[in-house]
Amino acid sequence: MCGIVAYVGPKDAAPILLEGLQRLEYRGYDSAGVVVSNRGLKMRKVKGRVADLAAVVPARFKGTLGIGHTRWATHGAPSDVNAHPHLSADERIAVVHNGIIENADELRAKLEADGAVFLSETDTEVLAHLIARTVEDAESLAEAVRAALKRVVGTYGVAVIDAQRPGEVVVARNGSPIVLGIGEKEMFAASDVAALVRYTRQVVHLEDGELAVLKADGFNTFSSDARETAKEPLTVDWEAGHYDTGGYEHYLLKEISEQPETVARTLRGRLDDRFHIAHLGGLNMDARESRSFRRVKIIGCGSAYYSGQIGAQLIEELARIPSDAEPASEFRYRSPVVEPDTLYVAISQSGETYDTLAAVQELKRKGGRVLGIVNTVGSAIAREVDGGVYLHAGPEVSVASTKAFTSTAVAFALLALHLGRVRDLSPADGRRVVQGLRALPGQIEEILTLEPRIKELAGKYADSPSMMFVGRVRGYPVAREGAQKLKEVSYVHAEAYPASELKHGPLALIGPEMPTVAIVPDDELLDKNLTTLGEIRARGGRVLMVGHREADPRLADDCLVVPRNEIELDPILLSIPLQLFAYHAAVALGRDVDKPRNLAKSVTVE
Ligand code: G6P
């Protein structure tokens, strides 16, 4: 949520900042701005995309130090004036900020009473004014920034420059990510390594409360009480090429198409054919501990939450441990009872979603044992948890999650296999699951060949004002994620219901204008699901069935047949046609597929 980039070194800053902002656009894309220092500050900022900003940055926008920002509005509508950076009145200090300053109104009133004139409606502008007031007498810019941040309540990742100290950038973190990039006689900082990997693979993650001073020849980090901290750089293995569209028209299609490979990567080195178990070294738990849990509670937001529902089902079925999933955003606010014999699992592609991070921190405060299922190595949630499973799915750029969703479900299958095999899951069932998991990448390839047919169906149904998605038990999270994908990228209203609940209310909505996508695997609930289809058709509803066999034309208008795996793993495969369906519906409707309106990928505000 909001992307920050900073540069100091021998090169021109503006092209590096703009390139970095482009990489961070998934975090917010309603306005963007840059400022460089060169005998005074030069700034350009606009409502719109980074490309709109690039168009107004003149060729002679020289300066070897600068900061940039791409915004997802919280305080004040998207506009040129509300875009970051924000300057102090004397144009000496420039600030970019990601997060929310909760006491901004109070600070603003005090500053205004003292003569300050504000130009924007943002919470961020107070920081520029606060820093400018102390910078003259402060020993360093860092000291002035620290003093200002002491007065702030809320979350931030910030980058600050001072026109009178043209050799340094100060960055600080509290709740919103800041990563430093270490170059050759140059330093970078950004909200995410995505903006850095083109220039360096050596990174340092700031912890909450830390501040860093960047100069061309190096950096220093400090704790909130100004003590210097020692940080070991980490080498990231994601490459610049991973962030390109790779010849696809959209990142979303690229990421859907990558799934045979990304699922294979999540599985790599983790399946054992001898004992039919999963090797998950990162769990940091021995067999005895793994046996000790009596419940599993899974938390995550958005698609992560829906993949958690698939996970809960897998753990309950394979390990026979009562399991459920809940939105992390709800969990953290309801003062949850935290029990020692419950295993908590937090899911996050980005590892930075604030609601999920806050839920993990609440759990840790109460002594809960928390595992993370995370894609981004070194991210805040990955660092906070007691152990976990990395997805190794590579960077996910499109705002709507696809490959991280399937890899999370696969990681849960591994966790369920592990927990099952230290309990009562038989070697024979273990073998069945291991073989099923090994078959997934090839079967995903097969599903991807259905794309032309799915495109045709998406075109057929995309002009519906609303769609219903139904599934029973294992199929229900699939239906929820299918509805979520359609809503996110095509803006077509979609409801997801357990097929069993349809007759208890939502059937009233069904008619020719509200088609249903029905998830109908060949499991023990097949007959029940077919009955539901009959009930929908009897009310004039159109049905697109996604399952394992062609349906009786009396029960479904259209049918998508996907390969069958083990019944526990089928939800993973059944999700994939729905991703393609949402993608092609969005394209047919002319939507901004990778950056849907109002959304952002990494939601680092509450
Ligand atoms: C946002 C995105 C969703 C995503 C969710 C969780 O709401 O729009 O697509 O599923 O955050 O993100 P995470 O990075 O924690 O998996």
Give the three-state DSSP class for 340: coil
The residue ranges of the chain whose pLDDT is under 70 are none
Global confidence as pTM = 0.88
Greatest alpha-carbon pair distance for the chain in Å reads: 81
Give the three-state DSSP class for 205: strand
- What length is written for the chain? 606
Q: What is the 3-state secondary structure (H, E, C) of 469-529?
A: EEECCCHHHHHHHHHHHHHHHHCCEEEEEEHHHHHHCHHHHCECCECEEEEECCCCCHHHH
What's residue 27's pLDDT?
Answer: 86
Q: Name the token pair of 297.
A: 């509670």
Active site residue 254: no
Cβ–Cβ < 8 Å for 205, 179 = yes
Active site residue 601: yes
Ligand 1 midpoint to CA 603 (Å): 7
DSSP strands (E only) in 9-126: 31-37, 41-47, 65-71, 86-87, 93-98
Ligand 1 pocket test, pick from 29, 298, 303 with the greatest ligand atom count within 8 Å of Cβ, gives 303
pLDDT digits (tens, 9 = 90+) for 344-357: 999 999 999 999 99
Cβ–Cβ < 8 Å for 498, 528 = no
CB atoms within 10 A of CB 275: 12
Query: Taking phi first (over 0 means left), then psi (-120 to 50 degrees means alpha), and beta for anything else, what does residue 359 get?
Result: alpha
What's residue 240's pLDDT?
Answer: 78
Active-site position among 47, 297, 487, 601: 601
Ligand 1 pocket test, pick from 349, 381, 406 with the greatest ligand atom count within 8 Å of Cβ, gives 349
Q: Is the dihedral of CA 506, 507, 509, 515 positive or negative?
A: positive
Query: Pocket around ligand 1: residues whose beta carbon is below 6 Å from it?
Result: 301-304, 348-350, 353, 356, 399-401, 599, 601-603
Give the three-state DSSP class for 438: helix
pLDDT digits (tens, 9 = 90+) for 584-605: 999 999 999 999 998 888 777 7
Active-site position among 2, 42, 47, 485: 2
What's residue 531's pLDDT?
Answer: 95
Give CA–CA dist 89/125, Å, rounded.
Answer: 10
Alpha-helical segments (H) within 298-402: 303-319, 328-331, 354-365, 380-384
What's residue 226's pLDDT?
Answer: 93
Per-residue DSSP letters for 382-417?
Answer: HHHSSEEEE-------SSS-SHHHHHHHHHHHHHHH
What's residue 604's pLDDT?
Answer: 73
Give CA–CA dist 300/327, Å, rounded.
Answer: 5
